[in-house]
Every structure is written in C-alpha cells, then in structure tokens.
Structure 1
C-alpha cells in the first residue's frame, strides 16, 4: 500500500491527521514560509500525543537552502533536540551556492541524526543537476527524497519523478507539491509509493474583536484572522483512494 504523509503545522492538526488515516506526519511551523522548524513546545506535545511516525522539518528560515555558519549550527542543535525527544526521523536539506547538495554539511547532518531516517526535502527541486543530486543523496544514505520533479507541482514534474522511481534501490521518491485527492491516482498509477500533501484549508479565527487597520506581518495585506490547518475530511478521502487503489 502506498504511504500517505500529511504536512501538519500544529499538535491539533497532527492529531486530526492521525485520526483520519495519515500514515506519517511531517511536522512544521510557518506554512507561508514553506515550513520551518517547529518550536520545542510543539515538538514535545506532538511527541506525547501522536503515535504514528512524525518527522519534524529542520529548516531555520524561509528562502533558499544555502545557510550561514550560524544557521547551520542552529540546525545541528535542533537535530540533536529532535533525536533526544525520540522522533524516528527528520526532514531537511542543504545546498551550496552552485545548487549542489552540500555534501560536507549533509554528512554532518547524517552524523547528528544517528539512527533517525532523514528525508531530503524540496531543496532537491532547487538542485542544478537532479540526477547527480540523487546519486549524492544515495551515497549519503538518506531514506527518501521529497520532490515535485523540479516543477511548480508534482503533477507537472511527473516525468522526472518517474525517472527517479525507476531506481529500485534507496532513496525512496516521495511526490509532493499540489498532491490532492483529485490527482492522487496519477501518482499511484506512476508507481509512486509515498505521497505528501498538506490536505489543508484556511480556518477563520474565533476572535470576535478585530482591528482591521493593524497587521503583525511584514505583508500589510496579510490576513491576521485565519490560519492554515489540516482538513480531516481531505485526509480521509485521500486515504480511501489509496486503500481502494491497492484492492483493485
């Protein structure tokens, strides 16, 4: 059966995803940044409340994946925290200025991760040579690569995804970016064994008092009174498609 990973941005979302059939969770903060390292409090409460595998993302900021020495030191410290909390895996990725996998730093990450499974995230989609990067990541021993096939969505990048999954050995190729119930069977038909989805929607704030003339964001047009959350019905629909596909 194909594995369904759901991206979650809170303990409540992680619990919902688990209840509705997710097989694994990628735990993040900051959805509008594409996912950043969760706080210690979130990491601790999710570890206590969720029993399916959870892989926190280790990403200190938004933007590119070429980090300063200080940012990388923080990443290693966060990896040690995640390992000490007993998480089975993590999600991360580091590139050099030329768009290559930063092998020295990734070796440090693999050493810090120890026995945790390491997923190389969509930094892969920013690599200058995806086939060489695949070989580099295979050499490092990463468990899987999350990719949209270097396109804006995994559906558009399906050709490269097919090429990558033609390798029968590790790392596993997990399709992500724009994967939803309406196109899930495309990936299953292509032989993708793991799919990644936010399965989310914007939820309005419960606040009754609102000050529309003030924003806490650097974007003055940002909506301060909504948050991105997992849609449990969407998770259940996707899980049902996977289960039905495997019985046909």
Structure 2
C-alpha cells in the first residue's frame, strides 16, 4: 500500500469534513466513500474518528436539548452512516476507536455519574432498540473505564425488556431486529449470550424468557 497515498486520502477526508455543508453534502459523501473504498481501513477509521469530533458530545453529556438534527450537517452524515456502520464486520473497532479518541482528546468528558448519557446519545442517533444494544455492546470494548461502566449499567437496564419484547408476537419488528442484516443479528445474539454467561441469567431475566427469546430468533 502506498502510505503517501493513504496520508493524502486522510488529509482530504479531514478537509472535506471541515468544509461540509448542505450545498456540497452529496458530492462530499460520495468523494469520502470513494476514498474509503480505494484506500481501506486506515482511511475508514480516520473518517469515523473525525466525524465524531464534529458531534457536540459535551452537550449530550449535559442532557442539553439544544442539539437540532436539522441544523447539524455532520450529525445528518452520522445518521446516514450508522445503519451500514452497524452491519460492518469491523464495527466494534471503528466505533471504539472513534469514541475512545474523543475521550482521550477530552471532547468527550465522561463521568460514571452521568445519568442518561447513552440513552440521550442513542435517541439523538435515532437507533432502534436492536441497534442501540449493538452500539452499546460495542462501546463495552472502550479503553475508558468510565465508558465501560456506563455501557454495563445501560445494558442491565435495557436487556431484560429487550428479551421480553423479543419473545412477543411482534417483537422482531418492534425492536428493529428485522431491519438488521443477518450478520448483525447473529453478532447481537452472541453478544447477549456472552454477557449473560458472564453476569448470570437470574438478575436480568428468567431462564424461560431467555430460552424463548433464543427460539424466536432462531425461527426468525
């Protein structure tokens, strides 16, 4: 791989994101997609890391209601990317690198006492419940202990209802599982199985509900 070409692609992505506007949005996103396709992982990783820096994460931490999706072109871009990002095989690596860098650079000042940060973030990102769990499970691999703790608490709050609803008549559609790729659903099931095996079933759900949940996904 031509490292100089990769460096130029990274610089171009930084410039394109900095100058992103409603007027050049379509052409800019196409240009970035082409650069990622041509140069691969390093450029892709840089793209998501840089895009996250344009999100007002500190306002989310403070439970600010001032963030308006329609006025934030970078958030619009993020929302456009999320469905395909979640389905990528290297999703965990990409999302953790992006948010870990934000934490290291202090654009994201995490505290284990922040209430509702992940809930507000997932709401801002308009994630389905299934996407939300995938997103939060991915962030469990963060290098920042504060973020690890927040994800653990969030999963403990969300997972019992998720399993219960998924076992219902319309649970697959209600949770957004039907919108995920087969690979993403498989990843989510594995993550849930690993989490429950580590935490034990009883504090989160009953064995019966858990087995019914797995049966529904197998049949779906």
| TM-score with structure 2 setting the length | 0.31
Name the structure with the higher helix share.
2
Name the structure with the higher strand share.
1
| TM-score with structure 1 setting the length | 0.29
